[in-house]
Amino acid sequence: MYKEDDINKLLEITSRAGAMMLKNGAEIYRVEDTVERIIRSIYDASDIDVFATFNALMYSFNVDGKTYANVKRVKNRGNNLIVVDRVNSFSRKFCNHELTLDEALIELDNIRNTTIIDPKIAIIGAVLASTAFPILVNPKDPIFLDLPVTFLVSLLTFLVYRNIEKKMYGYFIDNFVAGIMVSFLTLMIGKFFGGFNTANVIISSMMPYVPGFILTNSIRDLMSGDATSGLVGLTMSLFISLALAIGVAVPITIL
């Protein structure tokens, strides 16, 4: 017989580990596999069922004839792959019995608290990715004035985007505002300073918001047979792209 308190701790460990992976961009099959391995590593469990979707984790298992189940809701998703990597490493250590249940809970708390992305690093990464893109768009004959303009536009846009994101209006509004800012700032700079390619600047400044990560994961989920999550990811990618396109078109139409 197993202690009820230990099983409750196991439920908490699996919920935290699975939710952290799901929240930070892990594929559905990886989340399900990790949760199942953690459960199997401690108890002689049977009838293990794990079901993860785009923003929810559900699982159940049987120990000594008693069924245990848990549900975890993930409201916001990101793409912090450092968290996914560290939770993967944690699950391997846990499955090798290198951690007790209490130590596992502490380890997961440490992962959550030490993998928060510094806002300054996020801003620097977004701006550098945008600023370097004009050269990739036109490598044979680059317009070097595109670089400082893209730097300025992407910096101001990302600062506004971060503030809008904190208001939690939803990803459609966030990306719609980002599209408006990119287009508006580029057109305003173009009215006073010439010599740069407006299209290159707009395209480059939008790079941090393009849903490539979500699209890639959704296709991977579809290929793995996770139709629900795959279709949700594809739909979300479509709406993000639509929001960006509409946002960019508004200032161009008005101005």
21, 60, 53, 30: CA torsion to nearest 10: 40
Helix or strand run (H / E) with residue 193: none
* Mean model confidence pLDDT for the chain: 91
Could you tell me if 109 and 132 lie in one domain? no
147-167 residue pLDDT tens: 999 999 999 999 999 999 988
* Domain limit, last residue, from 115, 145, 179: 115
Closest CA relative to residue 147, chosen from 129, 162, 161: 129
Could you tell me if 127 and 248 lie in one domain? yes
Domain count across the chain: 2
Could you tell me if 145 and 157 lie in one domain? yes
Secondary structure of residue 138 in the 3-state scheme: coil
Alpha-carbon gap, residue 111 to 33, rounded angstroms: 19
2-50 residue pLDDT tens: 678 888 899 999 999 999 999 998 989 999 999 999 998 876 788 899 9
**Between residues 138 and 183, the one the model is more confident about:** 183
User: What percent of the chain shows pLDDT beyond 70?
Assistant: 99
With a cut of 60, say whether residue 1 has pLDDT above it: no
The residues near 73 (Cβ < 8 Å, ≥ 6 apart) are 55, 56
Could you tell me if 29 and 96 lie in one domain? yes
* Domain limit, last residue, from 63, 89, 115: 115
Q: What is the pTM of this model?
A: 0.86
**Between residues 78 and 38, the one the model is more confident about:** 38
Q: What is the domain extent for residue 170?
A: 119-254
The reported pLDDT for the residue numbered 2 is 60
Alpha-carbon gap, residue 243 to 240, rounded angstroms: 5
* Domain limit, last residue, from 66, 97, 115: 115
Could you tell me if 97 and 210 lie in one domain? no
Closest CA relative to residue 4, chosen from 72, 70, 63: 63
